[in-house]
């Protein structure tokens, strides 16, 4: 069972490595500020067939040899990632020198030379000391790693009888447990300099070809480069604490800005209300606002024209008024298109064209017009009565400015007292907010 598991592990890890690379090349990040979470690394260093932490060494003179490796890493949070590591190289040792204690190793195996065909492992990597309250990103990162994997190697031993290979020259496969520490320096958003050291504990005693009823081990000290894939900053060097603090400051600034905008809007509303009252002011009561009245201070009851001047007609000519269906269409279109600024009596520009046609109709046919302003029940009774009156007067003032006879236009506000629909729904309240036009 153990042999089958060992044979399956390289295939499974290779498939995972290929799938990881494919995933890194697909699915580009769609966030507003993309972060790099995939990376690949290459390294080279020294392989030594012992553990500096102590333990029993089968050979008195363990040599350092060249090792090299690569890995692919997926960063899940600023502190945690999974990494697939692969390492190759050689492990050597002999008994040409005594132990440090002076004891001579009289082992029947004089020397060994093990080809590490490959080692592959899946490691959990935890970043340490990556918090700086005032930095959104860090440039130095310390990390620890631990995992499990498999090593395939071919030991060659030298005895008094000569040199021979174990296992008939085939690779021996054993489980390994790698444990390591490292430091990473960010050179740019795409490149890091990586220093690391890993101790690999082997589930077997044949790494050096000499059986002494104990598990072998080897360590790998390396330096290399890590290349972050994608675009944006590296998640591994991102500091969420500093980012949260920065976002809190931005939220506070936004709230203060909104408060300032609200105060400015209130001031603008007060200014517009004052300008509207000034625009609708009619000191002589002739129905023509002072700003449009060319004959101010006309006596009370004087019939005036659109400019506020007395009519030259000696007496009022009563004509039979006939309102046609086409006339009603002009008025209905004006009612349909009439819009005011929210909570104000200011007519929006999109309403001018249809109001101009009503003014032309009043001038052409000398019609009289009653304007009745209405509101919904939102707000106080006094406020709604004043707003309905101001809106009706605003329409009158505009028609007069287009040449209509002010004396033939009556503007009245009824507030919320004459609803045509329920005020319990938004649609009903919309119908109740209106100015009615009545030709006669």
pLDDT digits (tens), the chain, 440 positions: 444 444 444 444 444 333 443 343 333 333 456 899 999 999 999 999 987 775 567 888 889 999 999 999 999 998 899 999 999 999 999 998 888 778 888 889 999 999 999 999 999 999 986 545 555 567 888 999 999 999 999 999 999 889 999 888 899 999 999 999 999 999 999 999 999 999 999 999 899 888 877 789 999 999 999 999 999 889 888 776 655 655 667 777 788 888 888 888 988 888 888 878 877 788 777 788 877 778 887 887 778 877 778 877 655 555 566 888 998 898 999 888 888 887 888 989 999 999 999 999 999 988 899 999 998 888 889 998 999 999 999 999 999 999 999 999 999 999 898 998 898 998 888 888 888 889 88
The residue assigned the tokens 């106080």 is 380
Sorted by sequence, the CB contacts under 8 Å of residue 78 that are 6+ apart come out as 127, 130, 235, 236, 237, 238, 239, 240
Give, in degrees to the nearest 5, the angle at Cα 250 between 244 and 255. Answer: 125
pTM of the model: 0.49
Q: What is d(CA 76, CA 67) in angstroms, rounded to the nearest whole number?
A: 29
Contact 40, 70 (CB under 8 A): yes
Give, in degrees to the nearest 5, the angle at Cα 163 between 158 and 168. Answer: 115
């Amino acid at each position: 069972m153990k042999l089958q598991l060992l044979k399956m592990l390289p295939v499974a890890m290779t498939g995972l490595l290929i799938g990881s690379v494919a995933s890194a090349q697909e699915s580009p990040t769609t966030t507003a500020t993309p972060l790099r979470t995939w990376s690949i690394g290459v390294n080279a260093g020294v392989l030594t067939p012992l553990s500096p932490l102590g333990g029993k060494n089968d050979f008195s003179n363990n040599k350092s040899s060249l090792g090299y490796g690569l890995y692919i890493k997926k960063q899940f949070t600023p502190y945690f990632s999974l990494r697939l590591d692969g390492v190759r190289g050689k492990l050597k040792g002999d008994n040409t020198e005594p132990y440090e204690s002076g004891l001579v190793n009289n082992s029947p195996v004089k020397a060994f030379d093990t080809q590490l065909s490959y080692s592959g492992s899946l490691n959990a990597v935890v970043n340490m000391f990556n918090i700086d309250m005032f930095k959104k990103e860090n440039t130095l990162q310390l990390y620890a790693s631990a995992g499990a994997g498999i090593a395939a190697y071919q030991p060659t031993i030298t005895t008094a009888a000569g040199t021979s290979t174990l296992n008939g020259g085939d690779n021996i496969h054993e489980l390994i447990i790698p444990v390591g520490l490292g430091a990473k320096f960010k050179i740019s958003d795409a490149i890091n300099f990586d220093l690391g050291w890993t101790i690999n504990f082997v589930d077997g005693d044949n790494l050096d070809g000499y059986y002494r009823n104990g598990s072998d081990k080897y360590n790998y000290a390396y330096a290399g480069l890590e290349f972050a894939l994608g675009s944006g900053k590296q998640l591994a060097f991102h500091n969420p604490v500093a980012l949260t603090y920065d976002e809190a400051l931005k939220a506070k600034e936004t709230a203060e800005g909104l408060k300032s905008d609200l105060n400015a809007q209130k001031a603008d509303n007060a200014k517009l209300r004052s300008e509207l009252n000034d625009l609708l002011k009619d000191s002589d009561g002739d129905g023509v606002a002072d700003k449009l009245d060319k004959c101010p201070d006309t006596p009370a009851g004087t019939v005036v024209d659109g400019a506020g001047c007395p009519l030259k007609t000696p007496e009022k000519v009563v004509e039979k008024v006939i309102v046609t269906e086409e006339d009603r269409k002009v008025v209905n279109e004006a009612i349909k298109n009439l819009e005011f600024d929210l909570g104000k009596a200011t007519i929006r520009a999109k309403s001018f064209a249809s109001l101009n046609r009503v003014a032309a109709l009043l001038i052409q046919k000398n019609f009289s017009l009653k304007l009745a302003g209405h509101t919904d029940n939102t707000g106080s009774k006094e406020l709604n009565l004043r707003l309905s009156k101001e809106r009706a007067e605003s329409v009158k003032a505009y028609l007069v400015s287009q040449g209509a006879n002010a004396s033939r236009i009556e503007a009245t506000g009824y507030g919320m007292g004459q609803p045509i629909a329920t005020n319990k729904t938004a649609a009903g309240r919309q119908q109740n907010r209106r100015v009615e036009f009545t030709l006669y």
